[in-house]
């Protein structure tokens, strides 16, 4: 019997030993990740003791700051609904979102030199503080963009194609994060989904703006297409399915096809590319990737290659079919053409400072993808210039500056077509790339192009 | 009682064996425990604003004195029992007390009162039940008494934490199942000793296996089955698990037949599967154990808050009074270990586990040192009971096993559990004393 008791003892001690190892693993290795969950209210409590850093735009306008009345601090968002989707919010009840969430640790002084500094502050019972963040955003332009969107649903993205810095990322409808607790219930039940950042997470058929991707793919596969002409009888038949055009365009070269937005030409180019070639073209522009901005981005989707029959392929080539894309990605497409085929990694945060004002991180410009060659981009650019000069995008023209663009009127099952415009300016030395979409607003040329033009003009006037 | 001078000897090379009953070692360890306790109370007093510290300091002082009084009484009587268990218990109880004061001084004061009562029970047990053998003679009375005690809460009881295992006596709640555990061990020890030969050898054969006949195992199984069913009806799944584990442990110790263990495990798995399908609350517990995150707002809230607390502790912990154990539901009872892990870190949590391990180790040693089978079985039964309970609840709050509503011995808030565990300690020490004194 004694032997059994001994074995029993060893078993029990063994169980406890396993427990010790498990606890160590849990607390040291998995612990930090678990504790970082936004449902963990320790952050909230800890925060109440810390002077949270301020978020600024590129010109020093504050977008999120803490105001104190006596001892109690409240987080204020001076630009309210204009920057809600980007800046985000922190809330005891509703968690955290946006850049306020992504850069939480820096704003709370929990990273870098601030960690030690605040630890000492805590011991000495002094105030702990976090660092400020400076964005690439321009609050004035952001406000202008939101004004132009008005009460309509849509999004606008404006960025610098040379560096990737995002100047405007507007999404409408929006909401006032200062009133979050009052309006939360109506926000989550609102069928217009105001909480969604349509600029980065929207899923829209891109319509004719997608022809740029098709063109790049076609020219990459067959450079001689640059000198060829295509015949457009006003429609194209694909396997018995008739794809109509907006007009009979007659003889067009690729540039003119872009300028007048000829469906027939690009459907044909898509068919010539085949599903694999088309997919390659889409991948080249990084449409199916999240560029890693610090806020959630929805990658583009389209029909899988086994479902990509000729009819679907032809539709996809003109930005219809099952293709769904975010406005941010389309802005990056425009940026690619603007920047001689190279897409720079987009970013929102310019510098991160510590509580003493010292810069601890500065985002440097980085190449993200080489979507196309300088030659091909040049050809497409000329097509886009022609679009603004005499084609579908004349409403985007800005006096004193040549704008290049492409319109789109994307058919969709929810009503009138989505109005799209993507483009860049000044065409000879582009410093701005833009994408505008208004849901179910009709013609891209009539509705989206003028907005883009105004925004580009305003941005240029501010020196961007 | 033999009054001897063993207590005056310290540890000497030739006297290592004698060290087991050395009251001097016990005194020294208790002094360390006292320092530990007072340090904790002082930390509360200095670091946590409010009543926490003001009430904690005197309570801590009195607790320390109370433990010493027990020690002095034993020294005076020449008690030869294991000298390590009381200091370990002191540290565990004090840690629990410090944390309860940290969480809520009201709990702290009540736990303080219960500790004093528990120490009283310990004293009485070591005095009155020192001749514990007679307990083995009344096993069928225990069975009946235990049964009644377990049935009462089903009809007259109140529900707490999903388990209908409490009786309301106005001033306090009483949980019979904590005390019945002790009766069960005594019953089993006595019964197994009587029928040991038959159960080991078997009187029938099933193929090449020899198994005991109905006269042998039916009373056993009946007693076992009924208590298990009662616990399932009381929905106290953790306690059912402990009863079952201790039962299996004792049967194995007595008969050394792995067959019984396997059979028992098979029964357990079958029972577990059946209850999973039959009972929604069992299903729910298993679901949130496997993946609590989808239920973060609802049934998984408790275990997730526990995980947040543990995850926030790191190695050194946030420091006493610096963490937020208030977010953990029921931190004062079942989840006190999570609060300890948050504020005392991995080091604190591991230290607590190590203390339990040493307790189990000493308990097994006591069982091995006894002269006869009844004592050995009883000691191993008590040790198994104790160790299993600690293991189950610590595993539960860390997510290694499903969370059950079982207390952490000596540390969780709860009078019945505390007093029962002190009585258990007393019985264990009595067995130890008899073995040492007879040497």
Q: What are A235-274's pLDDT values in tens digits?
A: 888 888 888 888 888 888 899 999 999 999 999 999 999 8
Contact A32 B304 (CB under 8 A): no
Query: Model's pTM, two decimal places?
Result: 0.65
Does A1 contact B at CB distance below 8 Å? yes
Give the confidence band of A81 by pLDDT, cuts at 50, 70, 90: very high
Percentage of chain A lying above the pLDDT 90 cut: 63
Percentage of chain B lying above the pLDDT 90 cut: 28
Give the confidence band of B121 by pLDDT, cuts at 50, 70, 90: very high
Q: Looking at beta carbons, which residues of chain B come within 8 Å of A31?
A: 310-314
> Chain A to chain B, count of Cβ pairs less than 8 Å apart?
121
Q: Looking at beta carbons, which residues of chain B come within 8 Å of A16?
A: 353, 356-357, 360, 387, 391
Does A21 contact B at CB distance below 8 Å? no
Sign of the CA dihedral with B36 first, then B38, B41, and B46 last = negative
Percentage of chain B lying above the pLDDT 70 cut: 79
Window from A98-102, B119-123, B188-192, B430-434 with minimum mean pLDDT: B188-192
Question: So what's the pLDDT on residue A267?
Answer: 92
Q: Looking at beta carbons, which residues of chain A come within 8 Å of B353?
A: 16, 19-20, 23
With 50 as the cut, is the pLDDT of residue A321 above it? yes
Does A34 contact B at CB distance below 8 Å? yes
Question: So what's the pLDDT on residue B398?
Answer: 92
Average pLDDT over residues B21-40: 89
Q: How many angstroms away from the CA of A121 is the closest CA of chain B?
A: 15
Give the confidence band of B94 by pLDDT, cuts at 50, 70, 90: very high
- Per-residue pLDDT of A84-125, as tens digits, reads 999 999 887 787 888 998 888 888 887 778 877 877 776 666
Determine the residue of chain B that is closest to A122 in CA distance.
Answer: B322
C-alpha dihedral over A10, A16, A21, A23, to 10 degrees?
Answer: 180
Interface of B with A in 120-139 (CB under 8 A): none
Question: So what's the pLDDT on residue B6?
Answer: 41
Does B192 contact A at CB distance below 8 Å? no
Contact B353 A31 (CB under 8 A): no
With 80 as the cut, is the pLDDT of residue B150 above it? no
Question: So what's the pLDDT on residue B256?
Answer: 78
Of A374, A346, A372, residue with least CA distance to A163: A346
Are the beta carbons of B439 and B138 closer than 8 angstroms? no
ipTM computed for the complex: 0.89
Interface of A with B in 41-60 (CB under 8 A): 41-42, 45
Contact B310 A27 (CB under 8 A): yes
Q: Looking at beta carbons, which residues of chain A come within 8 Å of B307?
A: 26, 34
Give A82's Cβ-side CA count (13 Å radius): 21
Contact A8 B253 (CB under 8 A): yes
With 70 as the cut, is the pLDDT of residue B14 above it? no
- Per-residue pLDDT of B336-375, as tens digits, reads 899 999 999 899 999 999 999 999 999 999 999 888 888 8
Of B209, B361, B186, B115, residue with least CA distance to A9: B361
Determine the residue of chain A that is closest to B383 in CA distance.
Answer: A9
Q: Looking at beta carbons, which residues of chain B come within 8 Å of A5?
A: 253, 364, 367-368, 376, 380
Q: How many angstroms away from the CA of B197 is the closest CA of chain A?
A: 12
Q: How many angstroms away from the CA of B148 is the closest CA of chain A?
A: 31
Average pLDDT over residues A281-292: 93
Q: How many angstroms away from the CA of A317 is the closest CA of chain B?
A: 40
Read off φ and ψ for residue B9, nearest 5 degrees: -80, 140
Does B317 contact A at CB distance below 8 Å? no
Does B62 contact A at CB distance below 8 Å? no
Contact A19 B310 (CB under 8 A): no
Give the confidence band of B11 by pLDDT, cuts at 50, 70, 90: very low
Question: So what's the pLDDT on residue A338?
Answer: 95
């Amino acid at each position: 019997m004694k032997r059994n008791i001994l074995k029993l003892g060893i078993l029990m001690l063994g169980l406890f030993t396993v427990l010790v190892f498990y606890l160590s693993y849990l607390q040291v290795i998995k612990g930090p990740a678990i504790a970082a969950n936004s449902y963990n209210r320790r952050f909230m409590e800890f925060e109440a003791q810390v002077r949270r850093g301020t978020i600024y735009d590129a010109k020093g306008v504050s977008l999120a700051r803490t105001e104190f009345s006596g001892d109690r601090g409240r987080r204020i968002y001076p630009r309210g609904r204009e920057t809600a989707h980007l800046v985000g919010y922190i809330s005891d009840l509703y968690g955290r979102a946006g850049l306020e969430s992504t850069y939480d640790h820096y704003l709370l002084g929990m990273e870098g030199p601030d960690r030690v500094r605040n630890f000492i502050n805590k011991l000495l019972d002094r105030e702990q503080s976090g660092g400020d963040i400076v964005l690439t955003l321009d609050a004035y332009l952001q406000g202008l963009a939101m004004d132009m969107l008005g009460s309509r649903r849509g999004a606008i993205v404006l960025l610098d194609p040379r560096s990737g810095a995002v100047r405007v990322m507007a999404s409408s409808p929006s909401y006032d994060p200062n009133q979050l607790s009052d309006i939360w219930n109506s926000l989550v039940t609102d069928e217009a989904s105001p909480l969604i950042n349509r600029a980065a997470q929207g899923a829209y058929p891109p319509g004719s703006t997608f022809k740029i991707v098709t063109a790049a793919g076609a020219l990459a596969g067959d450079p001689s297409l640059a000198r060829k002409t295509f015949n457009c009888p006003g429609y194209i038949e694909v396997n018995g399915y008739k794809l109509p055009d907006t007009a009979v365009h007659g003889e067009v070269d690729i540039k003119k096809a872009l300028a007048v937005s000829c469906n027939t030409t690009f459907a044909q180019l898509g068919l010539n590319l085949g599903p694999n070639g088309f997919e390659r073209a889409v991948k080249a522009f990084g449409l199916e990737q999240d560029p890693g901005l610090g806020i959630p981005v929805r990658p583009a989707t389209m029909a899988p290659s086994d479902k990509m029959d000729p009819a679907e392929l032809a539709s996809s080539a003109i930005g219809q079919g099952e293709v769904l894309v975010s406005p941010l990605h389309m802005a990056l497409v425009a940026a690619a053409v603007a920047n001689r085929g190279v897409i720079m990694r987009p970013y929102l945060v310019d510098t991160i400072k510590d509580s003493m004002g010292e810069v601890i991180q500065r985002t440097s410009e980085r190449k993200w993808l080489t979507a196309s060659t300088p030659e091909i981009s040049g050809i497409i650019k000329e097509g886009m210039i022609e679009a603004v000069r005499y084609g579908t995008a004349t409403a985007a023209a800005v006096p004193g500056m040549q704008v290049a663009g492409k319109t789109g009127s994307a058919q969709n099952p929810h009503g009138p077509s989505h109005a799209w415009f993507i483009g860049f300016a000044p065409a000879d030395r582009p410093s701005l790339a833009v994408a505008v979409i208004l849901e179910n607003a009709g013609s891209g040329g009539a509705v989206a192009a003028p907005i883009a033009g105004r925004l580009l003009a305003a941005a240029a006037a501010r020196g961007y | 009682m033999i009054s001897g001078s063993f207590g005056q000897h310290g540890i000497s090379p030739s006297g290592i064996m004698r060290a087991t009953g050395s009251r001097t070692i016990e005194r020294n360890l208790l002094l360390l425990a006292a320092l530990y306790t007072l340090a904790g109370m002082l930390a509360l007093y200095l670091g946590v604003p409010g009543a926490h510290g003001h009430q904690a300091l005197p309570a801590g002082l009195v607790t320390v004195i109370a433990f010493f009084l027990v020690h002095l009484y034993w020294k005076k009587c020449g008690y030869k029992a294991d000298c390590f268990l009381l200091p370990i218990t002191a540290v565990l109880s004090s840690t629990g007390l410090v944390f309860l004061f940290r969480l809520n001084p009201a709990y702290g004061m009540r736990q303080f009162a219960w500790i004093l009562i528990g120490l009283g029970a310990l004293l009485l047990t070591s005095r009155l039940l020192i001749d514990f053998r007679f307990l083995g003679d009344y096993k069928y009375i225990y069975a009946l008494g235990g049964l009644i005690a377990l049935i009462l809460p089903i009809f007259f009881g109140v529900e707490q934490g999903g388990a209908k295992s409490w009786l309301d006596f106005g001033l306090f709640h009483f949980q019979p199942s904590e005390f019945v555990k002790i009766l069960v061990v005594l019953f089993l020890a006595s019964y197994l000793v009587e029928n040991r030969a038959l159960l080991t050898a078997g009187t029938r054969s099933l193929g090449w296996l020899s198994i005991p006949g109905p006269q042998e195992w039916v009373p056993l199984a009946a007693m076992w089955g009924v208590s298990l069913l009662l616990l399932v009806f009381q929905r106290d799944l953790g306690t059912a698990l402990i009863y079952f584990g201790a039962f299996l442990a004792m049967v194995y110790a007595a008969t050394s037949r792995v067959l019984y263990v396997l059979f028992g495990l098979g029964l357990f798995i079958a029972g577990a599967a059946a209850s999973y399908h039959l009972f929604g609350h069992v299903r729910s517990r298993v679901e949130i154990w496997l993946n609590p995150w989808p239920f973060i707002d609802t049934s998984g809230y408790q275990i997730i808050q526990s995980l947040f607390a543990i995850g926030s502790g790191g190695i050194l912990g946030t420091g006493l009074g610096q963490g937020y154990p208030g977010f953990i539901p029921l931190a004062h009872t079942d989840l006190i270990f999570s609060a300890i892990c948050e504020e005392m870190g991995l080091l604190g949590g591991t230290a607590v586990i190590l203390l339990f391990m040493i307790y189990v180790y000493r308990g097994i040693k006591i069982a091995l040192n006894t002269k006869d089978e009844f004592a050995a079985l009883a000691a191993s039964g008590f040790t198994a009971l104790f160790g299993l309970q600690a293991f189950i609840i610590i595993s539960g709050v860390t997510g290694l096993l499903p969370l059950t509503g079982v207390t952490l011995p000596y540390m969780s808030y709860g009078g019945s559990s505390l007093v029962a565990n002190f009585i258990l300690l007393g019985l264990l020490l009595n067995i130890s004393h008899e073995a040492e004194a007879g040497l």
